Structure 1
Amino acid sequence: MAYVPVPKDLTRIKTKVMFNLTKRQLICFGSGALIGVPLFFLLKGPVGTSAAALCMVLVMLPFFLLAMYEKNGQPLEKIVGNIVKVCFVRPRQRPYRTNNFYAVLARQDRLDKEVYRIVSPKKKALPRREKADRGRHRKGEPNR
């Protein structure tokens, strides 16, 4: 009886389309061939066969890397995008900030008190002088 090894992690299995290649690999290899082969035939006459072959390989290499390279389940374009974000887009130093729940509660309490103070009916306060005089001085006379 023949045994077939079955991988434990089935999420890493990719569907093969043709020639035991995935759809992504077929697209990348095909686009590399569409650019590299005509370049070879254009450069073969002026620079020679070996230089044209070297140029063709250098032009097709990024397409092969996009098709085959994968690290931690991420393809090359995602890895390059993350590197660009880290090096150029985002700031170098990111300050550590926390969401302090107690500061939020204190701020909300302060805002609630302010709203209550604005909305609640105000008592009419007497003028300060009349309240402080208590009738000891006559109105209109200067203090001595």
Structure 2
Amino acid sequence: MRVVYFGNSTSAFSARHFAALLNAPCDLVGVVDVPAAKQKTTNPLAAGLLNFANEADKLNIPAFRPIDPNTQIFVDNLEKLNPDLFIAAGYSIILKEGLLSIPVSLAVNFHASLLPDYRGKHPVFWALRNG
């Protein structure tokens, strides 16, 4: 199965999902990272995280950092990878229909908390805080 992964290099949540995909029985054909301008973290440990986009580069897996992944140019480039599945974890940009129509099977998003009640910044904290 050909997989494209969407994540955020400053997120431990994203890094763990990427690491799991490297050990999964799939063909990771591309990764999409949040552009640097949108990467915001208050986690002082973020510098020690596995930067999955840099790691993908080292493994010769195409790594993309589009400012807007919904542009037609980016959609056309991703279509060339012929993915069966999109997996997203910690990716903060909403993927629109044109992009979501690319994978042959489906697109899956993993969210760290209960949606829609706990979305946005620090969703795990607020879910735990509110019991």
TM value normalised by structure 1? 0.14
TM norm structure 2: 0.15
Q: Which has the higher helix share?
A: 1
